[in-house]
Amino acid sequence: MMATPIKFGTSGWRAIVAEEFTAANIRRAAMGIAQYVARQPGGPHVVLVGRDPRFLGETFVAEAAGVLAANGVTPRVIPEPAPTPAIAYAVRQQKTAGAINFTASHNPPEYNGIKFSTPDGAPALPETTGQIEAAIAALGEEVVPQAPEGKYEETDVKPGYLKRIAELVDLRAIQKSGIKVVFDPMWGAARGYSDHILSEHGVPVEAVHDYRDVLFGGHAPEPDGELLEDCRVRMKQIGAGIGIATDGDADRFGIVDEDGTYIQPNYIIALLFDYLVETRGWTNGVAKSVATTNLINALAEKHDVPLYETPVGFKYIGELINQDKIAIGGEESAGLTIRGHVPEKDGVLAGLLITEMVARRGKNLGAQLEDLFGKVGSFYPHRENFRLTPEVKEKFTEKVKGDPAELGGRKVTSIVRTDGLKLILDDGSWVCYRLSGTEPVVRVYTEVRRQEDSGKLSEAAKAWVLA
């Protein structure tokens, strides 16, 4: 039987447990990583091995640790579930050669995956994952050697990480404001993180879904608006001013305003960018993926801050953080980080910074967004996924290579190919098409300047796919 090809996408390798995500494939992936690490200069090499709370995570960590140990790399095991950003911070703090993190992030419960972080704490870049994939492919059907079962060195990543968060967030301002907070870790890796640091600093906070459930309530642990109803209910019960949520591995965030409104990540990133310029005086730069709102472009122009537009994939933003070129970087898919922190998405930090912003400004997020629109104009982003038949996908794959002159009767004034195809239209609205690499889906991002135009542009964008 042919060995399963293992491919690391924009955020690691993911697969369904017991189908492709098997003990044999975990050993192969760990072997590829071990061989890559062993070739790096310096040594002896230590690699952190951590996980989120998914099914069999403890077993997978033990499998990977055994493979590393048998191949000259010292595993340092994180025994409790830990947020991806906490693991990233520990890589930097402990100066390890990287980390293997067993997580499928916001994917449904039947999935698991492996994220590999390099010594800077960032998600591995394509040149690194390419070498790892080649090493895995070269193994073929070879049996992967493992060290005998044993006790490996362990580490607790929580204290160091929360200490750093307390340096980045003005927790005293939150406490002084008297704001009440509800935290929803969605049964994930941030349990005991966001609520712990708030309560330690005298902030009234309550958590929902604060227990291990490997089925994540029967759905994906994704902090989207429709999955945050329990958070809303608890907010109403205690009179909370904000609800903050994290996904399965706590690299993504979800935010609920005082009145129960879910505030989409595009707006959260823009609000925080404006707030960091105002309170920290950081004007070195801002980064966003090509599919993220142009509200950030308008704010960058207003604040006279350099703007970096990256392909989708947080590793590109992470590079800019490492180079200290940006104050904040974010993606519309609910990932962000800030200057002086890890080059990795951090949902814990995002929620706490937003809480600080609401506390210090004394206004709910809806009012703050209105203020922002008053400064630079209004922006209404939207995202949809369209499933394609094989025939339509083949035709569309060719079509996006062209240079359309108009869309839905509106003139295309410029074309951006940073990632997929982005068409800028003559009224300032835009459409971005990105084909999925794993399924017959095209992701269609649109943004208009007047809310009433949103449905019209979305329909025109869809019609262009099928034309």
Provide the residue count of the chain.
467
Number of alpha carbons in the 13 Å side-chain half-sphere of residue 356: 23
Instruction: Quick: pLDDT tens for 238-282.
Output: 999 999 999 999 999 999 999 999 999 999 999 999 999 999 999
Q: What is the pLDDT of residue 153?
A: 96
Residue stretches of the chain with pLDDT short of 70: 1-2, 10, 437-438
pLDDT given at position 373: 98
Residue range 86-109, pLDDT digits in tens: 999 999 999 999 999 999 999 999
How many C-alpha atoms does 344 have within 13 Å on its Cβ side?
30
Give the model's pLDDT for residue 438: 64
**Can you list the domains of the chain with their CATH numbers?**
13-156 (3.40.120.10), 160-376 (3.40.120.10), 380-466 (3.30.310.50)
What is the per-residue DSSP string for 400-452? TTS--SEETTEEEEEEE-SSSEEEEETTS-EEEEEE-SSSSEEEEEEEESSGG
